[in-house]
Chains A and B, each alone.
Chain A
Amino acid sequence: MSQTAQDLAEKLSAQFPEAFVAAVEFRGEVTLKLKDAAKIADVCAFAKKDLGFDYLVDLTSIDNYGEDPRWTVVYELYGMLTHRSYLRIKTDVSEEKSELPSISGVWATANWHEREAYDMMGIRFAGHPDLRRILMWEGYPYFPLRKDFPLAGKPSEMPDVAFTRRAPLEGGPFVTLAGGKDSMEREPRVRTPEE
């Protein structure tokens, strides 16, 4: 099972020499890291056309806050009608750029996934046909899944659109900081966003 994924990862690496960091296997899943995010559309198109990855399971973005490059975009590929193997491709995007090519032309399902990644973290996908907010509303000023966005939310005022306040508990819900340095920090309590 995972042998096939390894083979496919090798084939992909062979097609794009020097483009990938060596494949990592964890819990039977193979992850390939693409060095240059600008190539992602070509890599995905090749994976779909020649390697049989006809199904995009999921697309995720990660905020590596405080690190450079700040964003990681994760693609979960699957061969539905072919080999039935998963392959994960990751790529990093810097905060200044915050943009990488869209793959919505490769798999139609990427359209909404990319809109969500844009909506939640503010990563833009060049060439996306309709890059609007999807879960939050048009005109909302923040990107709520960024690590520097507080859990309780931020007040925002948009005349004629909508407004948000902080969560009613002013810092709640009661949050445990798992692995916090002492028990004061660990135990569930109301927390203000500044904490």
Chain B
Amino acid sequence: MATTQEIAFKEPAARVAERQAAFGATDELPEMQGEKMVLNMGPSHPATHGVLRIILEMDGEIITKADPDIGYLHRGDEKIAENMTYTQFIPYTDRLDYLAPLANNVAYALAVEKLMGIDGQLTPRCQYIRVICCELARVSAHLLGLGAFAMDVGALTVFLHTFAQRETVYNLAEALTGARFTTSYTRIGGLSRDIPAGWIEAVRKFLDECAVAIDESDKLLTRNRIWVDRTKDVGIISKADAIDFGLSGPNLRGSGVDFDVRKAHPYLCYKDFDFEIPIGSVGDCYDRYLVRQEEMRQSLRIIRQAIDKLPGGPINIPDGKTVLPPKDKVLTGMEELIHQFMLVTQGVNAPKGEVYFGAENPKGELGFYINSRGGGTPYRLKIRAPSFVNLSILAKLLPGHMMSDTVAILGSLDFVMGECDR
């Protein structure tokens, strides 16, 4: 008459060893019988979350070779960036990881500000609002990531729970920026606008509701027999592999590497907040799921602290050569008019030099390498897209798994093709 059954986990090391023993040696697959079959997965497949195509070589149900084919969403963002001013490129960053546009805006603005050497001058209010934006984006991206992951392996209900919360985040983004999706919220040296009236209360309400929704999805999944069977010990990425392949974000932490840019190299005002970095022990799909689940809770914690301590004051750097002056001043003052004209036609005046700035985005470390030869346009802007780097491990990770595991592995890597292909 037992009603509950404990799910037993062995020691991490034993689990990895057992899994590897099942496939023979790690690198070489056991000699298999039968004719190989090539299976084309994607670019339009519900589990590939966009336009990823994987050419799989199968021996029965077992994958023997995987060749990811990307680039279906390539728009040449880096080329476009070379042909416009720094500020004009902000809307393009919305379209990188389009599940977390606010976080992309912040990462890009910080990279340009680092190049200009004004990242230390950002006003406290601006920094706090940016942190709130980043963490809202993280919650929103992880909600979708988990919902879609669960849906792909058959748990549709979770998706409905998480999507209801995402809707609230979109409403918050709309109230804050005027757009639900393409937020383009940051400016070099500040923000496009301040928080609207009543927004903080709405965020507070969201924090309470979202915490409940996360607990609900937790109850639906974490000790769910089917979920555990589909994800536990599937798609194990060892710590060494995770570092060698340059993984970042929850995928790296799922493999047990304690690295989060927010803690390792704090930017904005992340130093002011009390939060923890969850890490996994085995590096399987289940660990990556747990890491994301906990990260959402930590993000809610950060937002709560940020809105409690939100300082007043201006949101922009008081420098007419960097941030657009207020419109009423432009129409009445000579100096402001000149600043406005110069900023719109020439852009901010960045010095000669090169910087790399990486921010901890929901998918991993989104980095911008900017090579400037002075003036308002980057000479070369390289986007280090976490999804691009995270997907490069597929060729190594997939072989040896069952076809049906692919869906779980792709869901657990949580990538966005808009960012991968740029």
- CB within 8 Å of B: which residues of A? 26-27, 29, 31, 54-58, 60, 62-63, 74, 76, 80-81, 84, 86, 88, 107-109, 111-113, 116, 120, 133-137, 144-145, 147, 149, 151, 173, 175-179, 183, 186-187
Q: Is the CB of B392 within 8 A of A76?
A: no
- Among B95-103, B293-301, B349-357, which stretch is in contact with chain A? B349-357
Docked pose: A105 CA to B34 CA in angstroms: 33
- In-complex Cβ contact of A27 among B74, B83, B265, B353 (8 A): B353
- In-complex Cβ contact of A178 among B71, B241, B377 (8 A): B377
- In-complex Cβ contact of A55 among B246, B354, B388 (8 A): B246
Q: Is the CB of B71 within 8 A of A86?
A: no
Q: Is the CB of A27 within 8 A of B377?
A: no
Q: Is the CB of A137 within 8 A of B353?
A: no
Question: Is B286 an interface position by the 8 A CB rule?
Answer: no
Q: A166 to nearest B CB, angstroms?
A: 13
Given the known interface contacts A27-B115, A80-B257, the answer about A178 and B346 at a Cβ–Cβ threshold of 8 Å is yes
What A residues does B70 contact at CB under 8 A?
134-135
Given the known interface contacts A76-B356, A178-B347, the answer about A145 and B243 at a Cβ–Cβ threshold of 8 Å is no
Max chain B C-beta neighbours (<10 A), residue from A145, A176, A177, A178: A178
Docked pose: A111 CA to B68 CA in angstroms: 13
Extra contacts besides A26-B353, A62-B379 (9): CB < 8 Å: A29-B354, A31-B354, A57-B365, A58-B382, A60-B371, A60-B380, A136-B71, A145-B78, A178-B377
- In-complex Cβ contact of A58 among B83, B114, B244, B384 (8 A): B384
- In-complex Cβ contact of B356 among A56, A81, A86, A145 (8 A): A86
Q: B14 to nearest A CB, angstroms?
A: 23
Q: Interface size bucket, B side?
A: 35 or more
Q: Is the CB of A109 within 8 A of B245?
A: yes
Determine the residue in chain B with the shortest Cβ distance to A86.
B356
**SS class of chain B's interface: helix, strand, loop or mixed?**
mixed
Q: Is the CB of A176 within 8 A of B380?
A: no
Q: Is the CB of B369 within 8 A of A108?
A: no
Question: Is B219 an interface position by the 8 A CB rule?
Answer: no
Docked pose: A113 CA to B383 CA in angstroms: 11
The list of the 3 closest CB pairs from A to B, nearest first, reads: A109-B246, A135-B71, A178-B376
Q: Is the CB of A178 within 8 A of B382?
A: no
- In-complex Cβ contact of A144 among B79, B115, B365 (8 A): B79
Determine the residue in chain B with the shortest Cβ distance to A140.
B71
Question: Is B264 an interface position by the 8 A CB rule?
Answer: yes
Q: What are 21 A-B residue pairs whose CB atoms fall within 8 Å in the complex? A: A26-B354, A27-B114, A27-B117, A54-B243, A60-B369, A62-B380, A74-B354, A74-B382, A108-B245, A109-B245, A112-B389, A112-B392, A137-B71, A151-B83, A173-B80, A175-B83, A176-B85, A177-B83, A178-B85, A178-B345, A183-B345
What B residues does A56 contact at CB under 8 A?
246
Docked pose: A108 CA to B371 CA in angstroms: 25
Question: Is B249 an interface position by the 8 A CB rule?
Answer: no
Max chain B C-beta neighbours (<10 A), residue from A27, A81, A116, A144: A27
What B residues does A109 contact at CB under 8 A?
244-246, 389, 392
Max chain A C-beta neighbours (<10 A), residue from B74, B114, B421: B74
Within 8 A of A (CB), among B180-214: none
Question: Is B367 an interface position by the 8 A CB rule?
Answer: yes
Q: Is the CB of B388 within 8 A of A112?
A: yes
What B residues does A120 contact at CB under 8 A?
78
Q: Is the CB of A80 within 8 A of B79?
A: no
